[in-house]
Structure 1
Amino acid sequence: MFSGLHDIDWSSMVHAYGSAEEVPGLLLALRSSDEEERDRALSRFYGAVHHQGDVYACTVASLPFLFELADDTATPGRDDVVELLVSIGSEAVGRGDVEYVGHIDFAGAARVVRGRAETFVGFACDPDVRVRRAAVPGLGLFVDDVARASKVLRGRMADEPSFVVQLLIVEAMANLALRLPEHAEEATAWFTALAADPHAVPETRLAAVVQRARCAPGQVDDGTVAAAIELLREADVGGAEEAWGSPPRPAVPGDGPPQIVAAFEDLERHRSVHSPTADLLRTFHGTLAERVPARTTLLAEQLRSRDPGARLDAIRMSTELMAGWRGDHARLVMLVAEHLGASHPQVAAEAAAALNSCHAIAEPAREALAAYVGGPDGWCSARPHVRRGHQEAVQALARLGDVRAVPSLVAALDGGEDGWRAVQVAGRLPQAAERLVPLVCDHLRSLDLAHHAVDMSARSALSALVGLADGAVEAIAETLDAAVARELWSIASSALDALAAFGPSAAPALRTIRPLIAHGAARPAAVAALWAIGGDPGEVVRPALGLLDDRAVGIGKAADVLAGIGPHAREALPRLRDLLADGDEWNRVSCANALWEIGGVPEAPVVLDTLLQAWGQNPFTANEVVACLERMGDAAVPAVPQLRAELLRPERRGRFVSIGDDEELQRICRVLIERLV
């Protein structure tokens, strides 16, 4: 086995992290009898040799040996190897028509897997159901003979005892039809017959309905959704908890910022599925796309499942719908909120997380969240799902400005248990500033600024103190002094931004701020803080003008300062006009805004043209653009058609494409249209 493996000059090739000379060792480890050794090798192969779907020359060189492993029935974990082959092949076929420079070779891998199409046919008929499950997707992707592929898939469906593999067969037939359109009509007829087959299990019939819709989205109607729901009800037999359990926690660095550790945990949770129809239903939601009422009706049925795993998957799909598409989500918010009372704590925790993530529209769930939170004891619960659910619900309540979150936040900040989560939302409760400010200040002072990963925690605490807006200047000024002393300019800039928010009441910090307007890394934030706190145009205009000529430190920040100064900054007008031709849309928006604030109505035509062009070229600028339009008053009338067009878009948009940004974008658009028309 592996004849010629060491004849290849692996050191002349690279993968995602450098030299590919480790690849032979990984391939040898994939045939090890030691499961842990195989798992490590497989993980490394995915992480480096097939990094995020990329296919390198060394990946292509590995393919013959991977096929050799998969062909050998004595290979332990053959299904993992076949799955790896399908993953490499699917990426290669999907991206093989694009020319890449450097070490990427999708086209080469595509030729190899297509040349071994019959091998995948053999794998799809393997006695081992795990191998069949891994191989079947390849039939729809790598077999170019339509008649051959269709015949094999039909034959497999007739002989396949596993309904999970049957779902994959139906999906492969759809992939074949989408890849080779001459097969679409035949495939659609097959889907129709299969969906009506009384001998097929409901899950397989549901797959036929979904994949037919995927191949012909223009033919989807209310009847399609109704048929899917009826089959979903037939398939719902309920599942035992041990059938899915809790997803494993990913390995993350122990000394990483807690926010990053939590993000990896969330990523792992979202990669996990807990019901066999989850991927199928996600595909259906993808086909339904902007049909929000139909998707909500479908999710309502999913959320009624007797299987807690199916409900958990449905909650995540509900989050994806609300986060991705505009519409009236009040009903869905309430359906998710009902699961706060689920008997399974993981389902309840997922419901709380969903409501936290969509906090901008979570108002209908306020009372349900408060009832679920109860007292502060759940914040430190020894039961992981209970702790997570409580913390997510507290954060959701706090983001709604509800003081019933305060006892838990105080307990967290007092005890130090996951205090960073409390800090994230403390700024949303200014009415509780008297209790929270001292605790957040203590948290900020406790941070070791010398630690390489403290920036995120420091920014979060500074932001919270700005939101609380009471008695925090001293602690922020101390942080600024400490950051400057250690030349930690990222933290110093965050502290300067925080002090700027306090305006003249932060005057004692001016002694530290003034020298910083000459320092490269901190100059933009220092100039902005000097203006916000000192308010002297004569002291700020010249430094701000200097920043307009320094692309490395931020034109936008300087333009924002000049906009705040207004007519007293008239000497900046020529430079601001020049910058309306800048290649960065964000800079153009900031400069156009400053031009309006300084020059007023005479500048309106060029300002409006710049704003609307930037918005059209870069939709992420939308929030800043409409905020400026709002300040322009009647001068913004020509923007009405673009405002109306924005409201007709079904997908979420805005700076971070978040629910909050998008809801605010829609709100301002409606206000402007009503005011200007």
Structure 2
Amino acid sequence: MPGEDAVFTGIDEVAWASMRHAYGSAEDVPGLLRALASSSPQERERALDGMYGAVHHQGDVYDSTLACIPFLFTLVARAELPDRSGVVELLVSIGGGETADEGPRDDADPFDERPGGDERLDDGEDPVGDDDHAMARTAVRAGAAVFAELVRDRDPEVRRAAASAVTAFLDEPERVLGLLTERLDEEADERVRPALAEALGLFARLRPAYRAAAVDRLVALCAPPHDAGLRLAALGRLADCAPDRLPSDLVAVVVALLRARSRRPRPADLPERPDTDTLIGQLRRLRPADEEGARLLRTLHTGLGGRTADRIALLKGQLTSEASADRCYAVWMSAGLFREWRGSYEEPVALIGEQLGMGEERLREAAVPVLEDLFGLARPAADHLADLVAAGPEHSIRRWKSGVPTLGGPLRALARAGDRRAVPALAEVLRGPVVPYDTGYVIGHLGPAAQPLGALLRARLGEIPVDSPDAYDRASPLLFALGGLRHADALPEVLRLLHGMPADLRRRDWLVEAITRTVGAFGPAAREATPLLRELLDGGNAVTAAAALWSVEGDTEAVLPVLRQELTRGEHARASAEVLGRLGPSAGAASSDLRRLAGSEDVWKQVAAAGALWDIAGDPAPVLAALRPAWERNAHTRGTLAACLGRMGPAGAPAHDLLRAEVAAPRRHRARSGGYGSHDIVEDEQLLRACRTALGSV
């Protein structure tokens, strides 16, 4: 590439080998930087993928990330180099982008081309210090004058990427406002104009002193004669920074603009993208060609935030569009709405279900994961899920090029919705050559309807070699399902594992824990296991063994000393308190120990001990004392606390203001920026039910 030496002047003088990135030594970083200037599109894309995967892994900033910034700025300033827009976006991400100043977004593009952004992952690494992020932001700000030049670049993709960059990082507000308004007047490319409008909305939010002028311009951009894409972008940012200036018929206007936009011919000069095996390439293959449409809709939905009625109406309009791309965007946007905000979602969920029968793979691939995470809320789509499961085994089990298979998304979603039509398909899966690891966990959501699966689960458990290195991985889900079904006929197969496993078996203690929980779930029907459970009272699984023994025999005298002893051990104190609560008044001798634990600084130990004291002694004082600080300090405790208040009945009334506030709150209790868990929605719905039950107990 001509001029490469000038681009990378000084790169070999940097002590890269002494620096680090996500996977160790940063000695490979110069090669990645040079590859960003390669003449090969495939090599450039792999290099960008490598930068996100290692140097800026999951948004982290390392010393090597900081050392890259000057070279990245040199790259984007060289007009002769291709694909600079991706490097501009990398710089924006390293600097924190708009999210560093804007605060949390309620939605994220599930097909963001920047890999490593899924914060659901937890690789166990220590979090990167805020100082590194602050230094990165300072370094990107220091070079932000380059972005001001790039908003006039000859490459429209660079101009598009530079619009938000100059807004987020250039500390010259009058100059930025002038640049954005000038470019909006002069820009001819319909792919760039929406980015300029979005940047203007970001500017209005970041620069309150200049907000009025920016908002006035956004309002003007929302009206004819501007094109649909520009108007949608302006409306999205107006919803975010000046919702009072939105038109009263917002949803009707947006739906009409979306449909007008979908009827336009696709631009003929879209840049060609390489076909690579990178994460960027995989995500691109999943998304429709119109990436700008997804950005426009994300901006609008994010701006509307908790205005769930408007967002539901908008989704309905999108989901009934003739354009499959509009429907696909609606499915993606619905995920963020469902995860963060509470509402009545029967209509949009039913419409998402209809997408499964449209015969379009992309729509199906978008819709199924959304329905999987809805659990019971997916019932309005259950008929379509059942049709899909019945259409062929490929929807019941998913086979991967490497690793064990998993349940197919349609079957998992149907079972999680508690629909008995999942049972025959699950039976076929259990008869297959390999049982997907998640099968047992999914069966639990079917309740009594899954009883016919008990014999098959028992048979598959009996096939597992007791000395197999993966015995725990294979047995644990089956044990979980058998315990949930109370299928005590499987006790011989369960005890076979306990009797036969070698002392050095991998994850032996975990397997013993799973076995004893299952035996405890069987209750008195598992009396044959009593001698083994008594042996386990002296060991690392003592608490679970005690719980199981009490469930099987009801012998409080045998388990109470063990549980009191474990209550004093930090590792098992919470579990022991929970089991003591199940013993009820017969565990009164442990009350003094539980009172001490209720004063612990560990919020979960507090909650467990306080709840146990109510169940044992009917004493509301510890619960009420622990409840308020725990409720606010750790949202994960709320389900446990609400269930305890339900058991307390009128005695819990002094804390019912918290329950009423929770039921009235529009936002899900586990909603957070930048990430989510697959069970956030179902656990929030369980919390709401527990709150209503407790309030109804008075």
TM-score, structure 1 length as denominator? 0.87
Partners of 2:177 and 2:408 in 1: CA distance: 51
Q: Letter of the aligned partner of 1:150 in structure 2?
A: L
Match of 2:374 among 334, 358, 366: 358
Match of 1:32 among 25, 33, 38: 38
Taking a change above 3 Å as real, the CA distance of residues 145 and 482 of structure 1, as seen in their structure-2 partners, is farther
Which residue number corresponds to residue 682 of structure 2?
660
More helix by share: 1
1:379–1:408 CA contact under 8 A, matched in 2: no
Deviations 1:638-677 (A, max 9, x none): 222222111111112269762222222222322332331x
In the alignment, does 2:598 pair up with 1:580? yes
Which residue number corresponds to residue 259 of structure 1?
none
Deviations 1:402-457 (A, max 9, x none): 33222211222222367445434233445555642232234445557877777555
Which residue number corresponds to residue 494 of structure 2?
476
1:502–1:533 CA contact under 8 A, matched in 2: yes
Deviates more, 1:73-82 or 1:564-573: 73-82
Partners of 1:451 and 1:36 in 2: CA distance: 43
- Following TM superposition, by how much is the alpha carbon of 1:591 offset from its aligned partner in structure 2, in angstroms? 0.6
Which residue number corresponds to residue 81 of structure 1?
87
In the alignment, does 2:255 pair up with 1:229? yes
Partners of 1:93 and 1:378 in 2: CA distance: 40
Partner secondary structure for residue 359 of structure 2:
coil
Match of 1:489 among 495, 509, 515: 509
Deviations 1:521-569 (A, max 9, x none): x2332222222223211111111011111112x2121011111222222
Taking a change above 3 Å as real, the CA distance of residues 575 and 418 of structure 1, as seen in their structure-2 partners, is closer
Which residue number corresponds to residue 121 of structure 2?
none
Taking a change above 3 Å as real, the CA distance of residues 271 and 312 of structure 1, as seen in their structure-2 partners, is closer
Corresponding residue pairs, total: 654
Match of 1:348 among 355, 364, 377: 364
Q: Which has the higher contact order (CA 8 A, sep 6+)?
A: 2
- Following TM superposition, by how much is the alpha carbon of 1:207 offset from its aligned partner in structure 2, in angstroms? 0.8
- Following TM superposition, by how much is the alpha carbon of 1:373 offset from its aligned partner in structure 2, in angstroms? 3.5
In the alignment, does 2:416 pair up with 1:373? no
Partner secondary structure for residue 527 of structure 1:
helix
Q: How does 1:309-320 map to 2 (within 5 A)?
A: 309-320=325-336
Which residue number corresponds to residue 191 of structure 2?
164
Which residue number corresponds to residue 519 of structure 2?
499
1:96–1:110 CA contact under 8 A, matched in 2: no
Partner secondary structure for residue 374 of structure 1:
helix
- Following TM superposition, by how much is the alpha carbon of 1:93 offset from its aligned partner in structure 2, in angstroms? 8.9
Which residue number corresponds to residue 655 of structure 2?
639
Which residue number corresponds to residue 11 of structure 1?
17
Partners of 2:211 and 2:83 in 1: CA distance: 35
Partners of 1:218 and 1:538 in 2: CA distance: 67
- Following TM superposition, by how much is the alpha carbon of 1:197 offset from its aligned partner in structure 2, in angstroms? 3.5
Deviates more, 1:485-494 or 1:636-645: 485-494
Which residue number corresponds to residue 547 of structure 1?
566
Q: Percent identity?
A: 36
Partners of 1:336 and 1:159 in 2: CA distance: 40
Q: How does 1:548-567 map to 2 (within 5 A)?
A: 548-552=567-571, 554-567=572-585
Q: How does 1:152-551 map to 2 (within 5 A)?
A: 152-198=179-225, 200-217=226-243, 222-237=248-263, 275-374=291-390, 377-379=393-395, 391-416=408-433, 419-429=436-446, 431=448, 435-446=452-463, 457-470=474-487, 471-481=489-499, 485=503, 486=505, 488-520=508-540, 522-551=541-570
Taking a change above 3 Å as real, the CA distance of residues 449 and 307 of structure 1, as seen in their structure-2 partners, is farther
1:500–1:529 CA contact under 8 A, matched in 2: yes
Which residue number corresponds to residue 257 of structure 1?
none
Partners of 2:231 and 2:529 in 1: CA distance: 69
1:376–1:407 CA contact under 8 A, matched in 2: no
Taking a change above 3 Å as real, the CA distance of residues 322 and 92 of structure 1, as seen in their structure-2 partners, is closer
- Following TM superposition, by how much is the alpha carbon of 1:165 offset from its aligned partner in structure 2, in angstroms? 1.8
Partners of 2:281 and 2:554 in 1: CA distance: 45
Partners of 2:35 and 2:347 in 1: CA distance: 52
Taking a change above 3 Å as real, the CA distance of residues 89 and 344 of structure 1, as seen in their structure-2 partners, is same
Taking a change above 3 Å as real, the CA distance of residues 468 and 124 of structure 1, as seen in their structure-2 partners, is same
1:430–1:469 CA contact under 8 A, matched in 2: no
Q: Letter of the aligned partner of 1:336 in structure 2?
A: I
Deviations 1:34-92 (A, max 9, x none): 44443333222222221222223322222222222223344343333222222223359
Partners of 2:412 and 2:54 in 1: CA distance: 37
2:298–2:333 CA contact under 8 A, matched in 1: yes
Taking a change above 3 Å as real, the CA distance of residues 35 and 508 of structure 1, as seen in their structure-2 partners, is farther
In the alignment, does 2:137 pair up with 1:110? yes
Partners of 2:686 and 2:534 in 1: CA distance: 35
Q: How does 1:145-156 map to 2 (within 5 A)?
A: 145-156=172-183
Partners of 1:196 and 1:43 in 2: CA distance: 39
In the alignment, does 2:39 pair up with 1:65? no
Which residue number corresponds to residue 255 of structure 1?
none
2:516–2:545 CA contact under 8 A, matched in 1: yes
1:53–1:87 CA contact under 8 A, matched in 2: yes
1:619–1:654 CA contact under 8 A, matched in 2: yes
Partner secondary structure for residue 403 of structure 1:
coil
Deviations 1:351-408 (A, max 9, x none): 3443332122233333343344336545469999xxx999433333333443322221
Partners of 2:335 and 2:282 in 1: CA distance: 13
Partners of 1:92 and 1:189 in 2: CA distance: 21
Taking a change above 3 Å as real, the CA distance of residues 13 and 595 of structure 1, as seen in their structure-2 partners, is same
1:60–1:109 CA contact under 8 A, matched in 2: yes
Partners of 2:536 and 2:312 in 1: CA distance: 53
